[in-house]
Structure 1
Amino acid sequence: MDPERIEALMERFERAVEAAERRARVAGKRLLTTREAVELGLLPSASTAARWRMEGIGPPYRKKYGVVLYDPEEVKAWWDHNRVLTIDEVRQRAGGGGR
């Protein structure tokens, strides 16, 4: 296949992915691509998110047309659930009330 044909196919594929990203909705909610979630500060980096997906330890995600999508509310809930407590919070929960 000649390089011009490959280039044209790649551009067409990229446009299709962008269109799928714009249409990505579940139950009326706008889902975020990995890049968007990183830009909004919901994920640390695209590479970390990819590693978490491979290891099965990150926030829930969906795939639509091969594009990974995140529900912002689910990502925030995942962070809240996996939050590390401060020592004062641990003491307070144990009934010690802090310092």
Structure 2
Amino acid sequence: MKLRVGQTLKSAVDETSVVVIKSPGGETAVTCGGHEMTEQPGAPVPAAEGDAGPGLMLGKRYTVEGVEIELLCSHGGRHAVAVDGAPVEQKSAKPLPASD
């Protein structure tokens, strides 16, 4: 799926939803629980075997090293999210400049 900035993706396996903040521009597969996330998920499906893992936390931003993508969690869930097969990692805050 070609992602657009501002697009909301929802999981078919749980309540996870994310907003695309930065998009790599090409075809990208964002999955949750082993199933692709879409704008309008169909009927609920069971998660893939072994894909129950650390879910996303509401309000946190997530990225994948080596891929120019950033996702904002708008509704947390309990299944692992991945981009093109690579698990997402929570983006760390930028350090504030030291004051003198």
Common fold: TM-score over 0.5: no
Give the TM-score normalised by structure 2: 0.27
Q: Decide which structure has the larger Cα Rg and report it.
A: 1
Q: RCO greater where, 1 or 2, for CA within 8 Å and sep 6 or more? A: 2
TM-score, normalization by structure 1: 0.27
Quick check: which one's helix share is greater? 1
